[in-house]
Amino acid sequence: MSAAVTLALLFFLSVALNEQVTEGCTCLPRHPQQHFCASDIVIRAKVIGKVNSNLPELDAYKIQTIEKFKPLDKKRIQVIYTRSQQTFCSISLQNDEYLLAGSVQGGSLVLNLCDLVKPWNKLSQAQKLYLSMYQSGCVCEISPCTGASCLIKMAQKKCLIKAKDLFSFDDEEALQSICLPDSAGFCKWRKSIK
């Protein structure tokens, strides 16, 4: 098997498995809905500043939680953790508002390079609106596609999103939409919710 065929096969397998890969500080792209569904916690928060960390090799940031999207319990998160800036592939946060989506490790929200850490003012109005609706679309799968595979319109439990290459999407319409099941349970991109 030629190197090109092997490389293409590996690309399609990684896209089909829809897993995150971190190599050289790069992650597979994910739609905001994928981040939401895969995360333990999704919040809008203002970073107040860096504080002393009690966890080795992690930086700690004091935050003010503005809004919780997932889970909707009453517990407020006051400190988040990222990989130390002295380690490879760290995240640096400024005193600003962010959408933060990540996993709970040892009772703390720990964000890594492949989690959703996006300045609130960089989200579109549609993405801000859909944050309260993504949960209902978590039964759907969002799968990257390329070329002719993006033209397949069969009833399925997934929405396709055009991939430009292994590390970016080329589908602004899907990025500004939400993937939801219809009354028959088949998933489709939707622009507006009635």
Domain borders along the chain are: 37-122
| Confidence (pTM) | 0.80
Distances in whole angstroms, Cα of residue 38 to Cα of each of 19, 42, 55: 11, 10, 24
DSSP 157: S
Helix (H, G, I), strand (E, B) or coil at 68: strand
- Name the fold adopted by 37-122: OB fold (Dihydrolipoamide Acetyltransferase, E2P) (2.40.50)
Distances in whole angstroms, Cα of residue 105 to Cα of each of 2, 81, 147: 42, 10, 39
What digits encode the pLDDT tens for the residues 151-164? 777 668 899 999 98
Amino acid identity at 54: N
Amino acid identity at 116: L
What digits encode the pLDDT tens for the residues 14-45? 433 433 444 467 888 999 999 999 999 999 99
What digits encode the pLDDT tens for the residues 110-165? 999 899 999 999 999 999 999 999 999 999 999 998 888 887 776 688 999 999 88
